[in-house]
A = this chain, B = another copy of it.
Amino acid sequence: MTMNQEQFEFVCEHARGAMLLQTIADTLEWDERTGMPIAGGDYRATQVSTLRGMVHHRRTDAKYGETLQSLSENLVHEDPAGDVAATVRGLLRDWKRNHRLPQDLVERTSRATVKGQQRWDAARRADDFGMFQETLAEILDLKREAGQRIAEGTDRSAYEALLDEYEPDARVEPLNQVFRDLRVPLVELIESIREAPRQPNRSLLERDFPIAAQRDLSRFVAERVGFDFQAGRLDETSHPFCTTLGPRDCRILTRYDANWLPAGLLGTLHEAGHGMYEQGLRAEWFGLPPGSYCSLGIHESQSRLWENQVGRSRPFWQWLFERARSNFSPALDEVSLDELHFAINQIQPSLIRVEADEATYNLHIIIRFDLEQQLIAGTLSVKDLPEAWDARYRSDLGVCAPSAADGVLQDVHWSAGLIGYFPTYTLGNLASAQLFDAAEAELGGFEEMFSRGEFAPLLEWLRERIHHRGQCESGNDLVEKATGKPLSADSLMGYLSGKLRKLYRIAG
């Protein structure tokens, strides 16, 4: 039997309609986070929840699900990596996830996570994990149940089913293996860096960098690397993010700190990386899997690649140096390119994930990934979590939080029910390094290109290998196809080790 074209068009139209409503809700949320008057919050919440309800209603529609089922049984003649198969597979996957969760469980989880974030916030302010303990246990029970229901009848574990929401088709074992491959040499490298006699001058970056000048430079850099301002905007907010409001309307948001240069500039490059990925998706498939981002890990690989592989490279700073120096005069007047580049690449174990450098960041993630697996499996109880947290920070990073607020309570994720989300950050770092290596091997001459401010060839390569592929493959397959080998820790370790040993003058 062949595809039923009419059925295929019905599900596409249905999914596009849901996306239309979703992007409307996202527009309202963008407005809420950029400038809505404070008193408008209650009504805005009603508007957004009404729209989200309409989206959910569409996405769980029975006839839609049955049609997807029927289509999926007749895909034999379609290329599995083609747009049609990807559409049916992706839409059915989402429909099934929704369908397997009873309304009651969804509502209880929604209530628990609203309460969870309030309790987490209060507990963090009071620096008292005990205040959050019960709610976290409740959230974990609900997420475990959700994972079990989604995994039912498959060979996946509950945790894997949760991870699948953010990283479709990822399996825990290979991931654990790659993370172990990364962790061991990374801990060693960080140890050597800590003991290195040559250290950068961090205070260079803490001088007076007026916000208006940062804004100008950040916009210039975002435009130059390839973020399209005809189809996007750059704004400011307290928690930077990237949101897509239509096939040609991507909004990125950043945050400037007048006494910490990297926050705004590299933060903008990070968000521009996300934004360029969204702008590179195929508009004609907007709202459907072939025109949607592959996974959170792949999304993060795009932001990290521009932030780190490009934005912390010496050629990039060679290009930007004079402009930055005159832009921020007198802050960098007496600073050399090498001093600045070294400062931007400082590695220093610290307590807070979101403030961590590109090397230690991964250790923060691996700790969370290991602990959340144990929490879902039930091999670690919530009450023992703070102790397990601190133990891992001591052994992996050599630091220990003086308080729960800067320790186990630092992230919002678990309180919001985001279990299986953390590993995608390090997946992104691994993929960014591996993709960059492959692009460089193929195109060559990045050093010279970047030092001239020329980034189009790299972006083009990413467009073709990653952006245009949407969800036609899983994140793993996408990386393997683009780079010619399975995702491993090799590129990231090679990149970090190569750059940092040179900067810190560590033999190796």
Contacts and interface: CB of A to CB of B under 8 A. Distances in A.
Nearest to A34: B35
Given A31-B27, A230-B38, A50 B245 contact: no
Contacts of A35: 233
A44 B27 CA distance: 10
B20 A249 contact: no
Given A233-B35, A248-B37, A249-B37, A24 B43 contact: no
Interface in A229-274: 229-233, 245-250
A327 interface: no
A248 B37 CA distance: 8
A233 B31 CA distance: 12
Contacts of A229: 37
Q: How many copies does the complex hold?
A: 2
B233 A39 contact: no
A46 interface: yes
Which range holds the interface residue count of chain A? Answer: 20 to 34
Contact of A37 (B37, B42, B50, B232): B232
Nearest to A40: B249
A47 interface: yes
Interface string A18-42: 0010011001100100011111101
A84 interface: no
B27 A247 contact: no
A57 to B, nearest CB: 13
A132 B230 CA distance: 32
Nearest to A250: B37
A371 interface: no
Contacts of A27: 27-28, 31, 47
Contacts of A51: 24
A260 to B, nearest CB: 27
A358 B327 CA distance: 48
B39 A20 contact: no
Contacts of A38: 230-231
A196 to B, nearest CB: 46
A49 to B, nearest CB: 10
With a 10 A CB-CB cut-off, give which of A39, A230, A247, A286 has the most chain B CB atoms: A39
A456 to B, nearest CB: 19
B39 A249 contact: yes
Given A24-B24, A39-B248, 17 more contacts: A20-B46, A23-B47, A24-B28, A27-B27, A27-B28, A27-B47, A31-B31, A35-B233, A36-B233, A37-B230, A37-B231, A37-B233, A39-B231, A39-B249, A40-B245, A43-B245, A47-B246
22 contacts: A23-B43, A23-B47, A24-B24, A24-B47, A27-B28, A27-B31, A31-B31, A35-B233, A37-B230, A37-B231, A37-B232, A37-B248, A38-B231, A39-B228, A39-B231, A39-B249, A40-B231, A40-B248, A40-B249, A43-B245, A43-B247, A44-B249
